[in-house]
Chain A
Amino acid sequence: MPSKYRSPVMDRRSFVKIVTASLGSMMAAIVGLPVIQYFISPALGKTTSDDWISLGSVDNFPFDIPTLFNFAITKVNGWERSSLSYGAFVLRKEGQDPIVFSDVCTHLSCRVNWNEEKSEFYCPCHAAFFSKNGEVVSGPPPRPLDRYEIRLDGDQLFIHLTEG
């Protein structure tokens, strides 16, 4: 190549390298940045719920024995309407408002069972025990079982389900 066509700054080879690298990075960014959004966008849409769930007449629950009440809520996740099941332990005491525990273990969200013989809630995942009042007896849970806010309408028992 005659010297008058030569750039004093860089040779042809480094020019091509720089152009290739910058065009390549631009293309990668144009595709790459949307990919992040593509991945995380379903995680950003929070589905909140704020419902009062009817547990029926409070007289259906025995005194002094935590009794499981199961209910299901339908939610739309992606394109699918999924039915999520919940459990609530109702503990009635003479002359007091009933206490309603969530059956979700406060450790890592397994479901707890009531063991009537030992009078304890038991979580099988990591051997966690809670007392009848939901206090941690032993095991890894950081706090007592969560309690639902309740409402009594005559003899009708409602719990407040809030999420999100």
Chain B
Amino acid sequence: MAENVFGWLDERLGLKAIYDTILDRKVPKVNWWFTLGSASLFLGVMQGITGMLLSVYYVPTPDHAYDSITFIMTGVQFGWLIRGIHHWGASLLILTAFIHMLRVFFYGAYKYPREFTWITGVTLLICALGMGFTGYLLPWNQRSYWATTVGSEIAGTVPWLGDFIMRVLRGGSDLSALTLSRFFSMHIWIIPAIVLAVVGTHLYLVIRLGISHIPDKDS
């Protein structure tokens, strides 16, 4: 029965071909450092899932942000778990992505023909940092308020354009409801949309080009 259903779908969707291309690729002999890309992808997906769940209760306004998060932590069953995964997963994702980058760098895996894979990877790392920066403000507690004050002030030190960049980040001259809602929008819509497109490209390139072997004496 199950085989019949699978067969019917496979004939029409080409599932076996997708499986073979994505999971049954030929890979050189590699080591555990090569798992960090998958680890980052897994953590990214977890951030997406837990983020969607948090948005069930979180309200991005100065009136409600702090209280809604307190409610998630104390009033909703397993709210602490969902937020905990999102909170710790965020730091862990930066860590795995960064070590992934170091692995690629030290194995020289960014070289021809994988330069564009590297560029998309760097874009993703910057996006991850952007997610961290925008997500940090959302609890709207003392720490996030002052972290964003300092962070946007640092952006303000850019020569010539600094003041303009700071105002654009804050949506005005001060941290306000505008800052919170634009950070929220960046955090859940704009950056994730970019991440989705670039992760797609990154994975396409990994599958298209295959992964590089560990450098030996000849290389």
Please name all residues of chain A whose beta carbon is closer than 8 Å to the beta carbon of B75 when the two chains form the complex. 42, 78-79
Please name all residues of chain A whose beta carbon is closer than 8 Å to the beta carbon of B141 when the two chains form the complex. none
Complex: how many Å from CA A80 to CA B66? 12
Question: In which size bucket is the chain A interface?
Answer: 10 to 19
Which DSSP category, helix, strand, loop or mixed, fits chain A's interface? Answer: helix
Residues B77 and A37 in contact, CB atoms below 8 Å apart: yes
Residues B82 and A34 in contact, CB atoms below 8 Å apart: yes
Q: Which residue of B lies closest to A45 (CB)?
A: B75
Is B68 close to A, CB under 8 A? yes
Is B161 close to A, CB under 8 A? no
A39-B85 contact in complex given A34-B78, A79-B67, C-beta closer than 8 Å: no
Question: In which size bucket is the chain B interface?
Answer: 10 to 19
Is B56 close to A, CB under 8 A? yes
Please name all residues of chain A whose beta carbon is closer than 8 Å to the beta carbon of B85 when the two chains form the complex. 31
Is B71 close to A, CB under 8 A? yes
Complex: how many Å from CA A79 to CA B64? 8
Contact of A37 among B67, B70, B78 (CB under 8 A): B78
Residues A38 and B64 in contact, CB atoms below 8 Å apart: no
Complex: how many Å from CA A78 to CA B57? 9
9 A-B residue pairs with CB within 8 Å: A34-B78, A35-B78, A37-B78, A38-B56, A38-B82, A39-B56, A78-B57, A79-B64, A79-B67
